[in-house]
């Protein structure tokens, strides 16, 4: 889409139509090639954990838009992670390749960890339940598409049940799931945040006068009308309040989950491995009972197949309360040290599944600067894994890798070195690579 001035408009990058997204990117790349639009050279910053609109992005960004904004910001690498689906994998990797941007793609879901059935891990108020990831997928087509479909079905069943319970509480403001919620997503993967958007819109439509709207929410959310009136001017913040009051622990929509409501961690890890990706532990901040048992948690997760970890650094240092900040920075460093001791790549990013989350971490902050080189190693490892897995099934957890290295430390070092050698984009240097080659031969061929 062109503006009146003949400049390509970025808005179609987020269109639900994949063809319009692709055409918009082609137009923007044409402007860059012609010199009509400038983009900076790649710097050192990166974000390996960005949700797209295939699950929820606080800015409504598609996989293509994430890739473009990463290139426009001069990022070194980008990573896609969506909840319960792999719908954006090919689109994201292709867009990043077109833009000359290092990339990886993954999935996030919630799992049951029986060894921690009585302890909270990283999902507040939910003992035994963990947010969990697979990193380094190269296709949306997995060997077990039935299980992949089950991830989405389980999540959607939870969301539908939540809407039924919240409908009863917010009556006369009620949602029809198919009519009011699913159209907010490109492929029917609605989340709690979509539901909150729908309730906000439905209430605004139901109450024609602002004072009536404020009075309704004041009663339901337990806040003064004056506070509600102020919140109504900031829709993302207000929708967060709706979510916290009605859908989280203690709210009318919340039901404490049981182990049967989620796939087991071993099952998910096996799915990830069969798809050629890397089972990845998601770490929160080290303050829960489960995460305080750090050695036990890492041992249990690694025994089930985990080979990498994920951290959201911004949650652990960018805090106003100085005591909380000192505690969480200390916990972050403790976790990094433990992961390093086990040769686990540490993926980092900012999520962007809520409005207000920054696009990229501040790696120059005093709390993160000493950790940056460690985080950069994971960028190279995931970049090499993605390229080699797509090329010849030679990824980080592949049979080829298992035959080549006598230790995890050797594998870690190889993929980190290969990732520094493999250029972003088309990477013609991979043309002669095959799984009959030794690790040393691969490095030699990469130059």
Eight-state DSSP code of residue 41? P
Residue 344 sits in which domain range?
A: 46-142+275-446
Please indicate, yes or no, if residue 180 is contained in any of the structural domains: yes
Please indicate, yes or no, if residue 33 is contained in any of the structural domains: yes
403 Ramachandran zone, left/alpha/beta (phi>0; psi -120 to 50): alpha
CA distances 253 to 191, 232, 281, 374, Å, are 14, 22, 28, 41
241: closest CA among 276, 204, 197, 188?
197
Eight-state DSSP code of residue 321? S
Please indicate, yes or no, if residue 256 is contained in any of the structural domains: no
pLDDT of 1 reads 46
Pairwise CA distance, residues 66 & 46, whole Å:
12
Please indicate, yes or no, if residue 431 is contained in any of the structural domains: yes
Same domain for 297 and 433: yes
Peptide bond into 172 cis (omega under 30): yes
Same domain for 228 and 193: yes
155: closest CA among 280, 54, 40?
54
The residues facing 82 across adjacent strands are: 107
Task: List the structure tokens of 176.
Answer: 């029809």
Same domain for 94 and 208: no
Please indicate, yes or no, if residue 311 is contained in any of the structural domains: yes
Same domain for 94 and 227: no
Reported as type and span, the H/E element at residue 45 is none
Please indicate, yes or no, if residue 259 is contained in any of the structural domains: no
pLDDT of 392 reads 96
Q: How many CA atoms lie within 13 A of 396 on its CB side?
A: 37
Same domain for 208 and 105: no
Q: Which residue among 246, 264, 296 closes a domain?
A: 246
Same domain for 316 and 180: no
Please indicate, yes or no, if residue 253 is contained in any of the structural domains: no
The residues facing 311 across adjacent strands are: 283, 348
Residues 136 and 387: beta-carbon distance below 8 Å:
no
Same domain for 392 and 337: yes
Same domain for 211 and 177: yes
Eight-state DSSP code of residue 436? T
Same domain for 438 and 319: yes
Residue 305, domain CATH: 3.20.20.140
Look at residue 134 and give its three-state secondary structure.
strand
Please indicate, yes or no, if residue 229 is contained in any of the structural domains: yes
115: closest CA among 263, 283, 264, 286?
264
pLDDT of 3 reads 44
**How do residues 191-241 score in pLDDT, each as one tens digit?**
999 999 999 999 999 999 999 999 999 999 999 999 999 999 999 999 999
pLDDT of 426 reads 67
Residues 79 and 348: beta-carbon distance below 8 Å:
no
Counting as low any pLDDT under 70, the low residues of the chain are: 1-8, 426-427
pLDDT of 257 reads 77
pLDDT of 367 reads 97
Same domain for 432 and 369: yes
Pairwise CA distance, residues 434 & 396, whole Å:
15
Same domain for 178 and 101: no
Number of domains in the chain: 3
Residues 6+ apart with CB under 8 A from 102: 46, 76, 77, 78, 96, 379, 383, 419, 424
The residues facing 280 across adjacent strands are: 133, 308
What's the pTM value of the predicted model, to 2 decimals?
A: 0.94
235: closest CA among 192, 209, 197?
197
Distance of CA 156 to the CA centre of its chain: 18
Residues 129 and 257: beta-carbon distance below 8 Å:
yes
Same domain for 435 and 314: yes
Residue 104: CB atoms within 10 Å: 32
pLDDT of 6 reads 47
Pairwise CA distance, residues 291 & 314, whole Å:
18
């Amino acid at each position: 889409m062109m503006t009146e001035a003949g400049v390509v408009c970025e808005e179609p990058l987020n269109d639900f139509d994949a063809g319009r997204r692709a055409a918009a990117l082609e137009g923007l790349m044409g402007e860059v090639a012609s010199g009509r639009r400038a983009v900076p050279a790649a710097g050192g910053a990166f974000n390996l954990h960005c949700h797209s609109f295939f699950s929820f992005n606080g800015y409504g960004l598609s996989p293509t838009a994430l890739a473009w904004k990463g290139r426009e910001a001069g990022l070194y690498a980008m990573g896609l992670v969506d909840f319960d689906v792999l719908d954006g994998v090919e689109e994201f990797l292709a867009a990043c390749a077109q833009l000359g941007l290092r990339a990886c793609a993954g999935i996030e879901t919630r799992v049951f960890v029986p060894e921690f059935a009585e302890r909270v891990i990283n999902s507040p108020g939910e003992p035994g339940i963990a947010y969990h990831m697979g990193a380094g997928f190269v296709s949306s087509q997995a060997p077990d598409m039935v299980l992949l479909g089950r991830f989405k079905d389980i999540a959607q069943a939870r969301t539908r049940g939540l809407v039924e319970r919240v409908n009863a509480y917010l009556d006369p403001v009620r949602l029809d799931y198919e009519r009011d919620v699913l159209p907010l997503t490109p492929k029917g993967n609605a989340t709690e945040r979509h539901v909150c958007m729908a309730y906000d819109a439905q209430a605004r439509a139901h109450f024609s006068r602002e004072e009536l709207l404020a009075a309704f929410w004041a009663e339901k959310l337990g806040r003064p009308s004056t506070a509600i009136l102020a919140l109504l001017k900031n829709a993302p913040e207000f929708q967060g309040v709706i979510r916290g009051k009605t859908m989280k622990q203690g709210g009318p929509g919340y039901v404490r989950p049981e182990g049967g409501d989620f796939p087991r961690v071993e099952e998910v890890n096996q799915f990830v491995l069969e798809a050629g990706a890397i089972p990845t532990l998601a770490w929160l901040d080290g303050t829960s009972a489960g995460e305080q048992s750090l050695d036990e948690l890492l041992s249990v997760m690694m025994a089930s197949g985990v080979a990498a970890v994920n951290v959201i650094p911004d949650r652990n240092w960018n805090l106003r309360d100085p005591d909380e900040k000192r505690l969480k920075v200390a916990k972050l460093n403790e976790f990094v040290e433990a992961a390093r001791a086990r040769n686990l790549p540490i993926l980092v990013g900012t999520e962007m599944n809520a409005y207000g989350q920054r696009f990229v971490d501040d790696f120059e902050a005093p709390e993160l600067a000493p950790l940056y080189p460690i985080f950069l190693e994971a960028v190279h490892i995931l970049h090499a894994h993605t390229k080699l897995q797509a090329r010849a099934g030679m990824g980080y957890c592949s049979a080829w890798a298992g035959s080549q290295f006598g230790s995890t430390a050797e594998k870690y070092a190889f993929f980190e070195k290969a990732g520094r050698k493999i250029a972003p984009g088309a990477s013609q240097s991979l043309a002669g690579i095959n799984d009959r080659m030794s690790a040393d031969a691969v490095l030699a061929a990469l130059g």
